Amino acid sequence: MRQQDLAVIILAAGKGTRMRSSLAKVLLPLAGHPLLKYVLDLSYHLKPARTIVVVGHQADQVKSTFSDHDVEFVVQHEQLGTGHAAQQAQEKLKDFTGLVLILCGDMPLIRSQTLESLVREHRKSEAKCTVLTLKSKASHDFGRIIRDVTGSVLKIVELKDASEAEKKVDEFNSGVYCFDNLLFFKALSCLDSDNAQQEYYLTDTVEYLVKKKYFVQAVQTDDANEILGINSPDDLNRAVRLLEGQPDSSSS
């Protein structure tokens, strides 16, 4: 039975320049399947009412590849950041009431149990946003989770915008979130691009909600492999090894 109050948005518009391939990143093969298939399978496992994929680079090819899947597509014509990408789903969900789960199309190794736990914890709490985070002593190129002295989540700072003190924080953003749908798009509408990359950051929705006195919570994983995003040929090779059950020495 579908969860009628759950929609999934998968961000899959990126070009993947560092992959050194002519293919859109989400079409790159991993163990015989395009990257995006793994994330779609995760979405279907949750049985959401809607699954919306935001495409951009090689949009027609991505749509064609997954034309036989139960999915809706929206196009991000300009690559203006993750927040801008998520905004493209607003028209599709304007009449939807419930929760929206944000996934990344290049993150094939996250476990369905982790996503189920994230949604379950969100439902149990009074939070308007629940973010999946990684607690790790290792160095990662992810945004940092900034908390106040009581341990409450304040904001997410992207690495390129982080101060030296913020770069030392050992809790990292995964890029996976659960939001109240209507409040999510309200927050997205208030984003600006005044940052190091001059992009509309999806992460800034967290600070917006906190400033508006809404509760934001984090659900932690200590498994860096789960939130591995495929951004380079090395990442892809690492994912292959992990899928094959080989030991991985590059995470901690």
Positions annotated as catalytic residues are 18
The CB density around residue 45, as the number of other CB atoms within 10 Å, is 13
Residue showing tokens 């050992």: 170
What CA–CA distance (Å, rounded) separates 236 from 239? 5
Where do runs of H (alpha helix) occur along the chain?
35-46, 59-65, 82-87, 112-124, 164-167, 181-189, 204-211, 233-243
The alpha carbon torsion through 183, 185, 186, 188 (nearest 10 deg) reads 120
The CB density around residue 251, as the number of other CB atoms within 10 Å, is 16
Report the candidate in 56, 69, 71, 52 with the shortest Cα–Cα distance to residue 15. 56
3-state helix, strand, coil in the chain (%, to 5): 35, 25, 40
> In the 8-state DSSP scheme, what is residue 83?
H
Amino acid at 63: K
Pairing relationship of beta strands 99-104 and 171-180 according to DSSP bridges: antiparallel
CB burial of residue 198 (10 Å; 0-12, 13-18, 19+): exposed
